[in-house]
Amino acid sequence: MVAIGGIPVFDALVTDEDTGMLKISLVDDPAVMTDFLAFDRTKVMQMYSVADEEKRLVYGVVMRADFPILRRSPGLGEYYIVYKAGTIRRMAEKYLADGRQNDVNVMHSEDVKGVRMVQWLIKDTARGVNPEGFADIADGSLFAEFHILNDEVWAAVKDGTYKGFSLEGVFEFMPEQDKEAARDMAKEVVEEFANRVKNEILSIINKL
């Protein structure tokens, strides 16, 4: 098993009918690490944006490929979980096949109605599937666009209460064995953290 900064890395796997993605959540702290400001164009990278305010469309990353996400559990302690492109494709196909596209909650707790998926795509620059504004997101990452008819949820998106998408699901864990891949992922985490700090400083300067 390889590690990043002494923390073990696991790959998430979809292995059978009992594993996969179950629901999408609107959250204040996206699992993909970088927050968004829906109307702040000073961000180097947005994980989520208001695509069309009049039509109440929001668009963003559901899961980043090859990006280590820090997690904690009683059994494993601290660890990184990584969703590779193959796993993301399998879970995306299964999610639609199971008819879950409108299964949405907020903050991983309260189910909400009136939030409907209108687009679902996997980034693939070689085939021209390259969402504008997400250049730093790896190929194989999963994107979605939702039409928000729910007035309360839409108000929370506009005021910045919800800052991105997160997913819920059941996955098998396999220890990562590729040391070179782990080094690349560690570099991405460091760069992401640096960008986040830079953006927070710029935001403070702009407010001043």
pLDDT in tens, 116-155: 999 999 999 999 999 887 888 999 999 999 999 999 999 9
Total of domains in the chain: 1
Name the pTM for this structure.
0.80
DSSP state of 125: G
At a CB cut-off of 8 Å and minimum separation 6, what does 105 contact? 23, 24, 25, 26, 111, 112, 168
At a CB cut-off of 8 Å and minimum separation 6, what does 49 contact? 36, 38, 58, 59, 60, 133
Domain ranges, residue 29: 3-199
**pLDDT for res 5:** 84
Phi/psi at 180 (nearest 5 deg)? Answer: -65, -45
**pLDDT for res 21:** 93
Q: Are 84 and 140 in contact (CB under 8 A)?
A: yes
The per-residue pLDDT for range 11-59, each reduced to its tens digit, is 999 999 999 999 999 998 776 543 332 323 223 334 566 666 678 888 8
Looking at per-residue pLDDT, the higher value among 118 and 184 belongs to: 118
Residue 208, in any domain of the structure: no
Residue 205, in any domain of the structure: no
